[in-house]
Each structure stands twice: as C-alpha cells, then as structure tokens.
Amino acid sequence: MAMNTTSSGFGGRVCLVMVVIISIQGTVVQLGGVVAADAGDHDHLLLQKQQQLKDNNIVYSLYVLGDSTLDVGNNNYLNGKDVFRANRPYYGVDYYPSFFVPTGRFSNGFNVADYISKKLGKGNSPPAYLSLVGSLSNYTLVSTALIVGVNFASGGAGILDSTNVGQCIPLSTQMRYMESTRAAMAARVGNRRVTDLFARSFFLLGVGNNDMFGYVTNPTPPDVAAFYAALIGNYSDAITGLYRMGARKFGVINVGLVGCVPLMRLHSPTPGDCNDGLNRLAAGFNEALAALLAGLADRLPGFAYSVADSYGFAEDAFADPAASGYTSVDTACCGRGRLGAEGECEPGCTLCTNRNQVAFFDRVHPSQRGCKLSADAYYDGPAQYTKPINFEQLASARSSALPRATA
C-alpha cells in the first residue's frame, strides 16, 4: 500500500553450480548439482517432492500478487526515481536474522505474505519475482516456482493500470509475469504437472488499497459506480485468468481501513480523525469484491476462496487497541511531524522504540506486529474475519473438481 505523496501533498563451456535451498513444512531440502549436466536430476527431485506433498494433502506452492502489504522486494529491481521503494533504513530494522538490513518490505520486519507463508509451513514468503529472473533461461525462477512459489506483489500497485503509473508493477503486469512463469514451468515439467500443482497451491491476493488513495486524490474522479465497475472488472479478469492457468485456491485480502492510516488522518477533514469518506469508499468496494467471489464460486467448478476482512479486523483493533497490545493506532513509528505522517520513513527521521506496540510502522503501512496479528486472524482466527472459510481450511481443502489438462 504505497502511495504518491510528492505532487498533491500526500505527499570454452561454462558449468555453473547452483544450489537451491527450499523449506517445506519445516524441512530443508537441498537441490544441488551442475546445471549443464544434471538438470534432469533436479527435475526428478522436484517432481518427487511434489508427489510427497500431494500424498500428504499439503499445499504445493504459494503465489502472491498484490501491493506493498505483500511486496518482498520486487520494487528494488525497478528503474525510475519515482518508484516506491523500501530499500533504505529504517525499513527492515527488526527483520530477523539480518537486523537493520532493508529487504524491500514496507515494514520494520516481516509482512503479511511472510506470515501466511509461515502458517502454510513454508518459511518466509517466496522470493520476489524480479530477484529470480535472468540467466540460465530462468532456471532459478522455474525451480523456485515449482516447489516454493513466487511473489509478484509490488508496492504502489493497483487493480487499475492508471494507479501510480510508472512507479510500480500493476496487477495486469503481475498477471503477465505469472503467465510467463507458468509457461516456463510447463516447458520444464509438462502442462499436466503444472496444472496439478496449481490446483493444490495457494494463491494469495491483496490489492486495491492504492486505487482508493488514487480516487480521493484525483481532482476529477469518476462516478463511484463506474469506479467500482472498473475495479471489479479488472479483478475478475485476474482471478479468472489464474483459474484458467489451473489455480483453484484463492486467499483474497480485501481493502483495509485506508482512511485511518496516519497520512489520511493528517489530511482528514478533521485532522487526526479517520477519513470516513475514504473508509466508506473502501467498504463499498469490499462488498462488490465479496459478491464477485461468491459469483465466481457459483459458476467455476472447483473454485475455492476465502475473503480475509482486513477492513473489519482493523476496525475492531482500533476500537480496542489494548486488546491487540497497541499503545498507538494513529501515529507512524517511523516518520516526521504530526502523527509521524509529515515525512517519509528514512535515515534521520524519528524512529520509535516500542515497535511491538504500534499499529503503523510508516505513515501508510502496518508494523510487523500488525502484519502478524492480521495473518493470524486470516489463517485460523475468529470466524468473523474470513468468509466463507478461513485460510487454513482453504489450504487443506480438496477440490471436488480439479482441472483436467493435456500433457
């Protein structure tokens, strides 16, 4: 959930040895060897591990698409001075085990993608897509995608291509990256195996926050109904596109309580209070998103989903901060000025010491603790925060209509 704050005040033969270390259900698997000679052996090990997972009804891989709440470093690889990045102090100040080393996460430590991945037994989030592409015909990308998964999320991304143009990887481009990754996977192990893998993998999506910010900072915003229609149309295209690739398990995080982030409080009609108009805009979109997913489940065989209520969870936490261990729910830990929201999180700014007691790390993004509490709620927490099932139930569900594919 990054946002633009600068213009509107918101503000010979070479044999390469490769070793891939993969964590699955707490077990470390090492796939090593000389790529030029032993690629087939690697593929055999990859497929063998997939069969073990299948026999135990364990989620194969995790694929992540979304915005800065899920980004684990894709934006670090983008060019341009206006790209949203978290590659500077004090981001990563609490990231274990490399404390004080920014990782590209918009957090003082881990984010929601990390904690959901941990809940699925896979350690931290899968690596950022752009950290994997490149040499050896994307050998590293494909090997990682087959066993661990890939994170395509990008800080600042929106459902609409017009959101934060040139500053991030929009959802439509993330989908193109997903399509090309799947094609490379199929070229390696065959379409049938990839289809089976996707059907038993977890697809985590969280996007839309930046579209809300963009709407309220647009001097000539469109009609709200037209805005929702465009968002839902694009979101539907993405989800059905993933479904056609073989995806069946969708964990979807709705838009959060965006009117209550410190930056929006700072510019609220009543400074310091939540921006209720922005929250109503987000709530209306969330209703439309829930209806979209229910409709897709009715007409797409084998489609299973869980909607995580980021909005409702934050609303409850902010209403009773002490119950979540918070001493602050309105001020950025890392920032400047009023509510810590008058400046970016960067070297020389104010950095709080009670980071496990604050809801927000910077003026837009949740703290590591906030991310963990959210992931706990989505995975196996109180029933009111996920519909129609929680993430744990979704991960363990067996599809009644798995996709069929030709070899």
N-terminal to C-terminal alpha carbon distance within the chain: 40
pLDDT digits (tens, 9 = 90+) for 248-306: 999 999 999 999 999 999 999 999 999 999 999 999 999 999 999 999 999 999 999 99
pLDDT tens for each residue of 347-396 = 999 999 999 999 999 999 999 999 999 999 999 999 999 999 999 999 99
Question: Residue 63 carries which side chain, given as an amino acid letter?
Answer: Y
**Domain 58-396 carries which CATH code?**
3.40.50.1110
The C-alpha atoms of residue 67 and residue 210 are separated, in whole angstroms, by: 8
Annotated catalytic residue, options 107, 114, 365, 374: 365
pLDDT for 23 beyond 70: no
362 a catalytic residue: yes
Does 365 qualify as catalytic in the annotation? yes
Burial class (CB in 10 A: 0-12, 13-18, 19+), 323: exposed
How far is it, in rounded angstroms, from Cα 103 to Cα 106? 9
- The pLDDT tens digits of the residues spanning 167-204 come to 999 999 999 999 999 999 999 999 999 999 999 999 99
Stretch (H or E) spanning 27: strand 27-34
45-49, 78-82, 174-178: least confident range: 45-49
Domain boundary assignment for the chain: 58-396
Q: What is the average pLDDT across 90-109?
A: 94
pLDDT tens per residue, range 332-351: 999 999 999 999 999 999 99
**What tokens were used for 284?**
């209306």
**pTM to 2 decimals?**
0.88
Residue 205 bridge partners (DSSP): 65, 252
Q: Which of 68, 107, 143, 201 is catalytic?
A: 68
Q: Of 57 and 68, which is predicted with more confidence? A: 68
- Average pLDDT estimate for 24-33: 33
Residue 298: active-site member: no
